[in-house]
Amino acid sequence: MSGGRQFFVGGNFKMNGNTESLSVIADRLHTSDLDGTVEVVLAPPAPYLALLNSKLAAKENVNVSAQNVHEAEKGAFTGEISCSMALDCGARYAILGHSERRHVFGESNQQIGKKTKSVLAAGLVVIACIGEKAEDRKSGNTMNVCVEQLTAFKENISDWSRVVIAYEPVWAIGTGEVATPEIAQETHSQIRSWLSENVGSDVAASTRIIYGGSVNGKNCKDLSVQPDIDGFLVGGASLKPEFVDIINCTRK
């Protein structure tokens, strides 16, 4: 982590939780001594955005995020939510391009690009997810995949100050297999170099690049000290008490 970029810890609850269990998580965070220098963003299922927002509104540096949004403002899109709906429920962020949206629901780079433009136009911050599958890593195509995904984001980004890039190798998400700090740092460094060459050195220096993929209370410290890892997008561990330890992993 560079001293010039605020450390970021996101919790992606995915399709987990209910009013009771998520209230427990919110209460735990509200009463915990969290590192005030860390930005914390929680992404509950859409029906619970307003609940978590109301419970954590008074907690400094803690905000909520939509897990996904539709690119249209309104219309006949059964099951979807718009950016304005997410905002109305208190969201300040939106996760886009998560591997489950890409590989389970078939979202293309083109569609994710459209969503990016809509999210930024609405005033939300984009958590832009990229990452390769195991076969891409083994064949040496990690950056080819990441660059293709990054390019789709880049073509639709008007304000890089409202973008957080989340590198999540698909082979490490929910598998218990985490990229070593050295592997994660190498890819994060390559992503930052790509930003410098294709967007600008200032953007490369200021944009936070966070890591996701089986992050937990045991491996977070070793990952956090890498110079180009600016935080985490945490999955399963964000539902557990150890999430507080992850948030506080850079505290001196």
Catalytic residue check, 186: no
The rounded distance, in Å, linking the Cα atoms of 67 and 209 is 18
Residue 202's contacts (CB-CB under 8 Å, 6 or more residues apart) are none
The rounded distance, in Å, linking the Cα atoms of 108 and 48 is 27
The rounded distance, in Å, linking the Cα atoms of 209 and 228 is 7
Asked whether 249 and 215 are in contact (CB, 8 A), the reply is no
Catalytic residue among 39, 70, 98, 100: 98
The rounded distance, in Å, linking the Cα atoms of 194 and 201 is 10
Catalytic residue among 39, 100, 168, 188: 168
The 3-state DSSP class for residue 94 equals: strand
Catalytic residue check, 98: yes
* Catalytic residue ranges: 98, 168
